[in-house]
Structure 1
């Protein structure tokens, strides 16, 4: 699929901003492209220190919620942390559990079973917890939507403190949304209208950290002691794909520093198993290595294994758990790849290939990977994608969207066909009767506002740079903008007419290619691209016909335009500059 390249432009005075903020012009341009233009805002972004975080007591109900927990500790009441099975829920649970243990609380945690209970609180489980002696339930990364469940818990005499970051539930009446909240004893969620907390985008683990911070302040414990939990909060922040700005950037940036030198036994064991011991941990390692291993337990086993790993004090047990997480994630990867390949094949060989909203029902997709599969199919076709599988009671699944299509709002228009759904513009989960699946597919496509132009993939380029600018100092300056993710995307650079002097096809499956690019004065730099060898060969074949294979072995006249990210490649202790190719095309001349 042809990709549209867009160079970002700005009317800001980049030179004056770079001088005033004491940063180079390229960094200034990148920050301006991300709407970070104010000098004080830039300085805080470039120096994300923990002391710049807000007072946790600015959150509505923080004072009341921490009092309930401190009273429970003093009276030896049993506290149960009610968590969630994804990386944010796991790290939230670990933060609260470790902190309360340090405060000598009578505390346990419970993580719901994804398939048997689903997301959030469950009445049957609340009743069991009561029978087991629960006096207080402290939720994390869930609870704001548990209207009936919390009402039930209260009827059993259980005090409930909610810590959550999700959107508030609402009832829509005559085009007006009336927001509702559960009858909990305290609700700590900055998304409440009545909450004056300045930063609204914390994830569940971020709010759990703020809760512990408030507990420590009340007890007169040095606030710095709470900072050990930044390590877990950063994992939750990066993995939950919240905007990496403001407090989220402070948490994530400081977390990466801590994890690179972690003293946590469980994290150390997982880092060892993943083969990244003694390396600087970056957002990529969290988002694509550590996070998926944590998530895999909630998908294929129980996320309680991940909480146990993060709170483990026995190195042998930690090693055993780390290997289990790694193995589960490998299984998850294989399951995902198999289903993605089968679904892409079925779409390409059916009428579905003409749809601008893909709704695919495949009974044997494991419920826990439906969202991952939907994301990968969406990447292939660049259209909103919903993958449904056979649930216990009815088909259920997940959807992933593109920026031009608000999936949540479009599903709202079809709510008469859907039994249950929730989400946001880019992602959603739903349950639906099987007979309504074709109706949903038909209505979403008939009402689809997307144009042919909308579904062309777009890459936004931060700046055009000459390859001679790429050196160790330049790369280190770019890396200071880490961690990258939502709200702070990895910078994209581009250049035209890059002369290629060598091409190598690499990898066990021959799915990676490496180019040697000429700079000037006989200097060269390598550029690497993963999983696009077939596309690269097809491009050459379209240009050179059957002689394209000669170009692969002797690309003397080959020139490419490329979008790339510069990085340092370290191999066998030797470091060199390298370009990670995001997209490529033949040059016009």
Structure 2
């Protein structure tokens, strides 16, 4: 049973009859590349199998992934031979995870049923998945949902398959299968002055859950390194001036299993489709393509095929193959079909409202429906306009001391931008490059974000998770501050020229007398957390 993904192939040396991987074949004919097409041929096991999938036009639900097809076969087999389908309960959570991880359309009823059914505690039979969920519980405050399994659990498992060693891949598969083995784990000392911890005995499932997280960290580090090198190539070649970002990364990406991840990140950064190419042979390129989610080119696979590029995979994510000498023509054709100047950065939102109209109750009402969102039913986004905040009120925080979260409060609404790069804080606060200390500028911001909860001591607190933002100096507030400092009476500044935007300076006297006030637990938590 095959799904729609690319599969590995082998190459045969027709002179000797030997089958080998492509890398070995390349090393043989490098001295005389012209012999390649006559001496070597490529074959794949799909030539000898019957593809079975849900996209043949006969089955009504097209959002059944490979694991789902296997489940449908097992259900039909049990029905035909009168076998109790209770035996399938043990694999339902794996089918659910596969449907979610493969990005299947969660709008289609049958696919959504498999996703949600396998998330029920009744089907939690796999010890490896349980260990992984327990280890990552802090990242899954609402337990198993479509979003949490897709964004937290699936990437860890995928990371091992793409970046793990052969032993790590094999042992993870053994853990998923439920094989039993006692693993001796030697904890590290927290500091060199601490005594050496005693060895611990754990299950294979516990150990592979730990390994999954470690491998994903290794993969993330490698992706960041590759990103920096690829961006240097983009800057040097000015590839970002084209409709599609074609980049030859043969010299910088030495692991083909991360090419797709890097392409995804570049598409999000440059707001356009990306094709990352690696030398497949002296005359050919292979690689990965990824589309920007909001791009006006809705089907990147068909678009690239019009440009002479062979694409296999999904509509907007897949593998590419092309002759090296055809790439310039493909770039030119892409620019003709969709001129670069027509590219526009569009962030669609479900609702727009000024900060003055936003209430915590609205955030809570949306956040309460966290279990609904996931895959093709994304969490709704909101454009919050007219946010006035002083840069000195914007702070940094984050888990384990890493200051990767940016937070601030405005109009009693909490905002957070998570996992920010090192320069993001200076960008948001408009800190001058010259000078020391914290920026104290008055800022005017517009934010596109999601309404979510953050948990603290088992209590939910509504926040706006920032996805995108723009910021500029609030010139009206700056002028008001100058006037106030000059000794004027600025107890209240009425409506500004901008519609629905107000600036209020509360202190009527040059020196405001501080008063003691009692605060409740919620206020204390807000002060502590933000």
| TM-score under structure 2 length normalisation | 0.67
Q: Structure 1 residue 266 and structure 2 residue 128: aligned?
A: yes
Contact 1:267 1:309 in 2 (8 A): no
- Any stretches of 5+ residues in structure 1 without a counterpart? 1-81, 90-110, 118-122, 126-145, 154-159, 165-189
**Alignment RMSD:** 3.7
1:180-219 equivalences in 2 (<5 Å) = 190-193=54-57, 195=58, 197-219=59-81
Query: Residue in 2 aligned with 1:389?
Result: 278
Q: Which of residues 410, 420, 432 in structure 1 aligns to 2:303?
A: 410
Q: Deviation per CA, 1:445-492: give whole Å up to 9, x if none.
A: 3x3414534x3222111123543143685145432423x12x212211
Q: How far apart are the structure 2 equivalents of 1:231 and 1:124?
A: 39
User: Which secondary structure state, in structure 1, belongs to the residue aligned with residue 178 of structure 2?
Assistant: coil
Query: Residue in 1 aligned with 2:378?
Result: 489
Q: Deviation per CA, 1:530-555: give whole Å up to 9, x if none.
A: 4267456336539x9979966x45x7
Q: Deviation per CA, 1:217-238: give whole Å up to 9, x if none.
A: 2233444553443311221112
Q: How far apart are the structure 2 equivalents of 1:509 and 1:392?
A: 43
CA drift at 1:251: 1.8
User: Which secondary structure state, in structure 2, belongs to the residue aligned with residue 493 of structure 1?
Assistant: strand
1:232-247 equivalences in 2 (<5 Å) = 232-245=94-107, 246-247=109-110
Q: Structure 1 residue 322 and structure 2 residue 214: aligned?
A: no
Q: Structure 1 residue 564 and structure 2 residue 481: aligned?
A: no
Query: Residue in 1 aligned with 2:526?
Result: none
1:26-45 equivalences in 2 (<5 Å) = none
Query: Residue in 2 aligned with 1:458?
Result: 346
- Any stretches of 5+ residues in structure 2 without a counterpart? 12-17, 21-41, 182-202, 475-497, 502-530
CA drift at 1:329: 2.0
Contact 2:408 2:415 in 1 (8 A): yes
CA drift at 1:517: 2.2
Q: Structure 1's 353 and 494: CA in aligned 2 closer, same or farther, altered over 3 A? A: closer
1:37-76 equivalences in 2 (<5 Å) = none
Pick 1 or 2: higher relative contact order, CA cutoff 8 A, min separation 6.
1
Q: Which structure has the larger Rg?
A: 2
Q: Which of residues 461, 464, 470 in structure 1 aligns to 2:361?
A: 470
Q: Structure 1 residue 429 and structure 2 residue 319: aligned?
A: yes
Q: Structure 1's 464 and 223: CA in aligned 2 closer, same or farther, altered over 3 A? A: farther
| Moved >6 Å (runs of 4+) | 544-549
User: Which secondary structure state, in structure 2, belongs to the residue aligned with residue 569 of structure 1?
Assistant: strand
Contact 2:381 2:449 in 1 (8 A): yes
CA drift at 1:386: 0.5
Q: How far apart are the structure 2 equivalents of 1:274 and 1:335?
A: 22
User: Which secondary structure state, in structure 2, belongs to the residue aligned with residue 356 of structure 1?
Assistant: coil
CA drift at 1:385: 0.8
Contact 2:90 2:125 in 1 (8 A): no
Query: Residue in 2 aligned with 1:47?
Result: none
Instruction: Name which of structure 1's ranges 462-471 and 376-385 shifts more when overlaid on structure 2.
Output: 462-471
Contact 1:565 1:582 in 2 (8 A): yes
Contact 1:540 1:548 in 2 (8 A): no
| TM-score under structure 1 length normalisation | 0.61
Q: How far apart are the structure 1 equivalents of 2:129 and 2:73?
A: 22
Query: Residue in 1 aligned with 2:31?
Result: none
Q: How many residues align?
A: 408
Q: Structure 1 residue 249 and structure 2 residue 249: aligned?
A: no
Q: Which of residues 215, 226, 230 in structure 1 aligns to 2:92?
A: 230
Q: Deviation per CA, 1:500-529: give whole Å up to 9, x if none.
A: 37310234564431111224xxxx434334
Instruction: Name which of structure 1's ranges 533-542 and 347-356 shifts more when overlaid on structure 2.
Output: 533-542
CA drift at 1:377: 0.9
